[in-house]
Amino acid sequence: MTGKVSSDPSCTVSHVHDICERITANISKVIVGKRDEIRLLLSAMLTGGHVLLDDVPGTGKTKLAKTLARSIDVAFGRIQFTIDLLPSDLTGIHFFDRKADEFVFRPGPLFTNVLLADEINRATARTQSSLLECMEERQITVDGKTFLLSAPFLVIATQNPVETQGTFPLPEAQLDRFLIRVSMGYPAREDALTILDRFRADDPLCDLLPVACADDILRAQMICTSVFVHSVVRNYLLDLIEATRSHRDILLGASPRASLSLLKTAMSYAAIQGRDFVTPDDIKTLFIPVIAHRLVLRTTGASLSVAGYGRGKDRSSEILTGILDSVSCPTEDFSP
């Protein structure tokens, strides 16, 4: 597959840029004023990662997932997580077919391309952990038999960070499986007026047509792996990562997996913007969305900064903002 893609002269970062611009414009017909969030979502998808949407109800999380799936013409599945949800409700089960006189596998909702795991923190740890294999290995094992998932495969999980009653916080191992954490936030006044006008009669999602296909995404994923990263940029990334490990308010800093996730996401982010090389600004833009949710902070009197919640400014983000300000950013030419 790699040879086939690389031999196609049309398979360049401009190809990735064009596809993502079409998808972004299409999603923006439904999701108003969230181009930055859409770009982060596309970066995760092209990197082969998954997204945690951390926001209050009614900010467009479900709508965003549905619109993305519709825009690239792939299968969409949704699971409403509840306390009584079982792992088999996600993966599927074997049942005995009397007519065929044999056990037949009935696939669960995990067998899709874009999966919305709605309110994931309302399920028990046992059910949450059933997502680990499919998110990391792109496969599901049921009764000792392994089933491969179709590509592309993207999990978009949502959780409400304010409401805690009847919820089960995601453990660090599960959080680390999410490439990016995104907060939709409340819309600006002008965008809110546009939403009122646009959704006053019909839902624009009903008339939305696909502008890309699964093969386009798979081809774009392959192109992103060839984006150039200068050694100066790599060292800047490591300076930021190491700063999280020595910060007095951070108990456990960013892991090697986190640093690799940041690097790969930056490569996709650069390609989305039509560049075949990564800049320090790409690293700075992605540092908080990729790293913040992976940190384990030292216990203090106030674990969250409620002010500015709509923009995802919790305590982890504030600490990482300070690190970005304190670590020197290189200014050389970073093109190949």
Residues 245-281 as b or e (16 or more Cβ within 10 Å = b): eebeebeebbbeebbebbbbbbbbbbbbeebbbbbbe
Please give the mean pLDDT across all residues of the chain: 88
What pLDDT, on a 0 to 100 scale, did the predictor assign at position 69? 92
84, two tokens: 């009584």
Over range 241-255, report the average pLDDT.
Answer: 93
Examine residue 152 and say whether the peptide bond preceding it is cis (omega within 30 degrees of 0).
yes
User: pLDDT (tens digit, 9 = 90+) per residue, 33-50?
Assistant: 999 999 999 999 999 999
Report whether CATH 3.40.190.10 matches the domain 227-329. no
pLDDT value, residue 311: 36
Residue range 207-227: mean pLDDT, rounded: 95
Binned at pLDDT 50, 70 and 90, residue 3 comes out as very low
Token pair listed for 32: 């108003």
The full set of domain ranges for the chain reads 1-226, 227-329
Average pLDDT over residues 283-302: 86
Instruction: Give the pair of three-digit tokens for residue 101.
Output: 């006189």
Which pLDDT tens digit goes with each residue over 92-111?
988 887 887 788 888 999 99
> What percent of the chain clears pLDDT 70, i.e. is strictly above it?
93
In this predicted structure, the answer to whether residue 4 has a pLDDT above a threshold of 50 is: no
CATH, range 1-226: 3.40.50.300
Burial of 195 (0-12, 13-18, 19+ CB in 10 A): middle
61 compared with 282, residue with greater pLDDT: 282
With 80 as the cut, is the pLDDT of residue 162 above it? Answer: no
What pLDDT shows up at residue 10?
56
pLDDT at 188 over 60: yes
- Could you read off the pLDDT of 116-149 as tens digits, one per residue? 999 999 999 888 888 888 998 999 988 888 999 9
Closest C-alpha among 179, 189, 138, 173 to residue 157: 179
pLDDT band per the 50, 70, 90 thresholds, residue 310: very low
